[in-house]
Every structure is written in C-alpha cells, then in structure tokens.
Structure 1
Amino acid sequence: MSHVTGLKFFRKYPNVLVVCAGTFMSMIGFGMIFPFFPLYAERFGATPSQIGMIASMFALTRTALATPFGALSDRYGRKRMMMAGFLSYSVAMSLFAFAQNVNHLFIFRGLQGVASAMVWPSAQAIIADSTEHEDRGRAMAYFSASWTMSMIIGPAFGGFIADFYGYEAPFLIAGGIMIPITVLIYLYVAETIKSKVSILTVKEPVVRRLRFRFNEIRESTYFLTLLGLMVATFI
C-alpha cells in the first residue's frame, strides 16, 4: 500500500500535478461567468425558459460527445485531445463577449460543452494512466479538489470583474486563461497512450470501440452513480 502524499506524490506523478493545475486554472475561468450569466442573457431578451435551455446546452453536448471524444483520445492521444479542448474552451468563452442575440448564446454554450467533452475524459484518462493502482484514488481526489476549489474562487472573481468592467470582460479573461493552460499541457504533460494502448487496440475501428465502451459503461455501477451525480448537479 502506498503512503506517498503531498509534494512527494506530485514528484512521483508530475502528470497529475500539471493536469490538476490546468484544471484549477480553467475552472476559475469557467466559474467566472456563473454569477451574472442570466443577467447577460436577459440583455438579449432571453426569457427564463430560454436561459434554462441555454444552460442545458452545455450538459447536452458534453453528455452526447464525452464517449466519442474519449474513444478518439484513445486513438490519437490524450494530450492532443486535451489541448484541443482547452483551445476550444478559449474560443467559446471569448465568443460570448461578442454575442449579438440569444441564438449566439445557445451556440456558444453548446461549444463549451463540446470543449468540456474533449478535456475531461482525456484529463481523467491521463491521471489514471499515469498512476499506480494504489495511488489512483488519491490522484482522482486531488483532481476533484482542484476544480471544486476553483469554483469557490471563480464566481467571486468573475462577479467582481463584471461589476467594474462589464459583463464582457470575464468572458475575455476566461478565454485568455485557456491559452497558457494549453501551453502548460504541451510542455509538461507526458503522453500516456503509447504505453497503455497496444497498436492493435489503437487501430481498431472507432465505431466498434464506441459500441464496446457504451455496453461496458451501461452495465457498470459506475455509470449509475455518474448518472445520479449528473442529475443532482443540473437539478
């Protein structure tokens, strides 16, 4: 049983440190828009029902695309998919500052979900691939703590910025935050797919692997737990 904790843990698993740091920074940006997003949508004449549907667009696109992007990360690399996701986050966040109508908000919120579907499965896979079995639970706990802590900071910071500089400023700042995160991932995260996935598995057709993944996930207790957490999150 492993007893490595704290800084020794991160020295042993540098991928975990970098992914957690990137997650912390990105979720600060993501959380910045929470306090005022309904007010921003009302500026374009959005009704309460439309605001609710705009918020749901994120969950819809993320849920629909998480498994396909997870399979693609198996084929083309976790690191590459994660970087593409953070760049997509940057674009989606920044576009909100230039929205002209409610339809734009629907589209950009959906793009956020696409980016999230690219980032999170890849990030979790990198952590799982990078750690030994006995340390995996602790690594996932650090990962979870990194984004929950950032969600404490992000909304407060975003509300302050919006108060003094307008609603557009937090979107642009959040989009800008994603650029150094992408560079951080590029420079310091080691790709894990080479050592964990055989050539035969990588060359397996994506559709067949998606079918296998769906059946495996559907039959697992983890899926039921995850489904319950998703429902609780978005109620």
Structure 2
Amino acid sequence: MILSNNHIDNSDESAFSPPRPNIMLLGLLMALSTMANSIVAPMLPIYATKLNATPTQIGLLVSIFGFVRFVIQPIIGNYSDKWGHRRVIQAMLALFTIAGLGYAVGENIQSLLFFRSIQAIAVGGLSVSIRAYINQITTKNNRGGVNGTISAMQNAGSLLGPVVGGVAADWLSIQAPFYLLSFFSLIGLILSFSLPNVKFNQYNIDSNKHDKKQTRWPNALYLLAGINILEFVGLGIWVTLWPIFASETMHWNSSLIGLSFSISALASLITAPVWGKISDLYGRTISGITGLLFLLIQPVAVVLFNHNFVLLWLCFVLAGAGGTGYFNAYYTIVGDLSPDGDVGKIQGVLGAASQLGNSAGSILGSFIWQALTIQIAFWTDASILMICIIGYIPLFITEMRTRKQNKTYEEELTQ
C-alpha cells in the first residue's frame, strides 16, 4: 500500500499479479497508437501546404488537436467507467483507423481539420482508457512496474513513428504515412479483442460495494492534479522556447535540435522499467521527486552552461529519464488514489487539465520571451518545477508514514 484513500489497506496484494500477456498486449497497443500518432504529426503541416492551406489554417490544424482533447477527455473518461475500458479502447482504435483514411483521401483543409478532430478524440480517449484499464488489472504492489512497461512501449512508438512516417513519405507518397496510421490502428483494434473485459478492479475487495453517490476524491488527488498542471506549464515553456533558443542563440541546425529531443526520448525509453521498479519498491513520491529534480537541471543548464556541449547532452539524457520518472509516479499515484468506478473520469479530468496547462505554458513562455528575455522564461520553467517538488513534500510524508505503518503491521503478523 502506498497512498491510500484515508485508510491503510492491509490486504495481501502481492499474491495477485495481472497476466503478463495482457500487460504486453496493452503495451503493444500503446506503442502502435503512439507510433500511428507520431507518424502523421510531422507530415500533417507539409500535407496541408500541398492543399494550399494558409499559415493561419495550419496553425488551427495544430491547435484544434489540443482543444478537442481538452474538451473530450473528461467526457470519454466518464463513459469509459460506465461502458468498460476495453470497449472504449476498441472504439478509439476504430476512430484512429477512420482518421488515417480520411487524411489520405482528403482534398482540402476543411477535411483535414475534421479528421484532425477525430484523431484528437481517439488520442485523448485512448490515453484515458488504457491508463484506467491498467488501474483495473493491477494492485498497488505492481502498478508502478506495469506503468513503467507501458511507458517504455509508448516511448518506443514515439521514437519509431517519425522515422517510419518520414521514410514512407520520401519513398512512397505524402499520403503513405496516413495509410500507415490506419494500418497500425487496425492491427491494434484486432489485437484489442484479446483483452479481457474488466469493469472493476478484481483485486479490490470493496469493488462490489462501490457507490458513486458516496465517492469522495481524496485531497491528495487534488494536490497531485495541481502539481501536474504546473509541470505541464513548465513543459509548455520548454517545448516552445528550446528550439528557438537553440537555433537563434546557440546556432544549432534543425537536425541537432531534433536529436536533442530524440536523446531525451531514448533515455525515457530505457529508464521507464527502472522507474517502475523504484516506484513499487521505494515509493511513488521518491520516483516523482527525483524525476522533477532531473527535469529541473535542464532549463538551468541551458541558461548557465549552454557553451558546454557535453554537459548539455548529459542534461538532455537526465531530463528524458526524469520525465519518465515523474510521469510514472503521477500515473501510479492517480491509480492508487482513484476510487474504483471513477478511474476513467479522473483520468479524463486530469488529462484535460494537463492539456490546459501545456497550452498556458506555451503562451506564458512566449509572453515572457517577448516582454523580458528568453533566459527569464527558462528560469520561470525552473521555478515552476521547484514549486512542483515542494508540492510533493506532503505526499512524500504521507507515503512514508503509510509505508511505516504497514511495515509495523506486517511485523506484528509475523510475530
């Protein structure tokens, strides 16, 4: 037991473990969907220009994705709890398949905007339903490790997608990446029928007693949500301004800037399972705080040591690993704290809030850059991450106290 809903769970959860084929299948579905999404992301603006889209329309093509996710995720999360997460996973993969075909045969920017919205629904719904499904088939003793496995597969898809999409566009046609989006999504849809249909957590002895009218979200969940929104504000600042700073101040070319993101993604992929084990063995908050500290190093190093090439790349590696450590802790704690039957709703609401934070960070970073300096924007990013670390302290204290109480209880049982 880690962070609880105001009580200590003394059940022997270690006796239960979700079937490994189900975990690997979930990871494969996450990898396929992430790869499908990242295949088209770099190609979409290029494709839009070939359809004579204006710069404003291309900007709308990008922004509508986040807006639709912000609106739709809480709705899908709520219905995912009612209908079953497996059904929602299948529905979202079907939408992915439709979106890819729609892109490929689209003849104007209006059709691209429509199918971009469909894709946003699919991405948002799949993110919510897969994480909620994970919570339904895991216990507090193995949830961190499972989330680590899923994150590793997700990162693998993110790494492969742009490469596959770029090669397909160069060697076949500009429409080829969109057909691949449909192809990989269709494979995922077929595989998803192998997932067992689980409505409530089979390891929660109170599942059958669940009453939504009596459900009260724990206070720690609100604190965690606030921390995550702030983290996404910082992420929005970084993603928006780092390429500009690297290009204009450090005179890096596009390949080098892209490689900096790829190095972080690779570090994230490699370390994801390790963070999962750390989370399960030593505590979620240990993983979260350490991950945030690694992330904090990145904007500080860019401002202070941007001429030290080796140190910068080391910081990119640490930041990639740190991001995975933080998100592993976040998703696992959300799973630990979510009342059974509200898992999808909570994932949807928090996911929407994250999208809002990311957009706010992009706007805030741009404003600080124009009004002051880009360096101050990076210091703002670092300050936000420090606030997140401070916010984790009450969660850390609660978790350590709970772990100590559980350890004392187990020792009493063995005497």
Same fold (TM over 0.5): yes
Bucket of the pairwise TM-score, normalised by the shorter protein: 0.7 to 0.9
SS at match of 1:171: helix
- Measure the CA separation in 1 of the matches of 2:59 and 2:160: 24
Shift of 1:218: 11
Give the aligned residue type for 1:18. L
- Measure the CA separation in 1 of the matches of 2:25 and 2:130: 10
Contact 2:18–2:138 (8 Å) recurs in 1: no
Shift of 1:220: 1.1
1:20 aligns with 2:27: yes
Contact 1:15–1:126 (8 Å) recurs in 2: no
- Measure the CA separation in 2 of the matches of 1:57 and 1:21: 27
Name the residue aligned to 1:114.
Answer: 121
1:84 aligns with 2:86: no
Q: Which runs of 5+ in 2 are unaligned?
A: 2-15, 237-357, 363-415
Shift of 1:21: 0.8
Q: Taking structure 1 as reference, are residues 192 and 164 closer, same or farther at Cα in structure 2, changes over 3 Å only?
A: same
Contact 1:16–1:130 (8 Å) recurs in 2: no
Shift of 1:216: 7.2
Contact 2:18–2:137 (8 Å) recurs in 1: no
Give the aligned residue type for 1:101. N
- Measure the CA separation in 1 of the matches of 2:218 and 2:59: 32
- Measure the CA separation in 2 of the matches of 1:82 and 1:217: 29
1:163-174 equivalent positions in 2, closer than 5 A: 163-174=170-181
Give the aligned residue type for 2:89. M
TM-score (norm 2): 0.48
Shift of 1:82: 0.5
Name the residue aligned to 2:227.
Answer: 225
SS at match of 1:134: coil
Residue-pair matches, total: 219
Shift of 1:159: 0.4
Contact 1:10–1:16 (8 Å) recurs in 2: no
SS at match of 2:100: helix
- Measure the CA separation in 1 of the matches of 2:49 and 2:229: 31
Name the residue aligned to 1:32.
Answer: 39
Which of 193, 197, 200 is matched with 2:199 structurally?
Answer: 193
- Measure the CA separation in 1 of the matches of 2:198 and 2:69: 23
Name the residue aligned to 1:44.
Answer: 51
Q: Taking structure 1 as reference, are residues 131 and 172 closer, same or farther at Cα in structure 2, changes over 3 Å only?
A: same
Aligned-residue identity in percent? 24
Contact 2:40–2:178 (8 Å) recurs in 1: yes
- Measure the CA separation in 2 of the matches of 1:165 and 1:88: 24
Give the aligned residue type for 2:160. I
Contact 1:217–1:223 (8 Å) recurs in 2: no
Shift of 1:132: 1.3
Shift of 1:47: 2.4
Q: Taking structure 1 as reference, are residues 159 and 118 closer, same or farther at Cα in structure 2, changes over 3 Å only?
A: same
Structure showing greater relative contact order (alpha-carbon pairs closer than 8 Å, 6 or more residues apart) = 1
- Measure the CA separation in 1 of the matches of 2:113 and 2:33: 21
Q: Taking structure 1 as reference, are residues 11 and 73 closer, same or farther at Cα in structure 2, changes over 3 Å only?
A: closer
- Measure the CA separation in 1 of the matches of 2:134 and 2:171: 38
Q: Taking structure 1 as reference, are residues 49 and 218 closer, same or farther at Cα in structure 2, changes over 3 Å only?
A: farther
- Measure the CA separation in 2 of the matches of 1:55 and 1:136: 34
1:105 aligns with 2:107: no
Q: Taking structure 1 as reference, are residues 147 and 228 closer, same or farther at Cα in structure 2, changes over 3 Å only?
A: farther
- Measure the CA separation in 2 of the matches of 1:92 and 1:70: 21
SS at match of 2:146: helix
Give the aligned residue type for 1:220. Y
- Measure the CA separation in 2 of the matches of 1:46 and 1:173: 23
SS at match of 1:122: helix
How well do the aligned residues superpose, as a CA RMSD in angstroms? 2.8
1:136 aligns with 2:143: yes
Shift of 1:22: 0.8
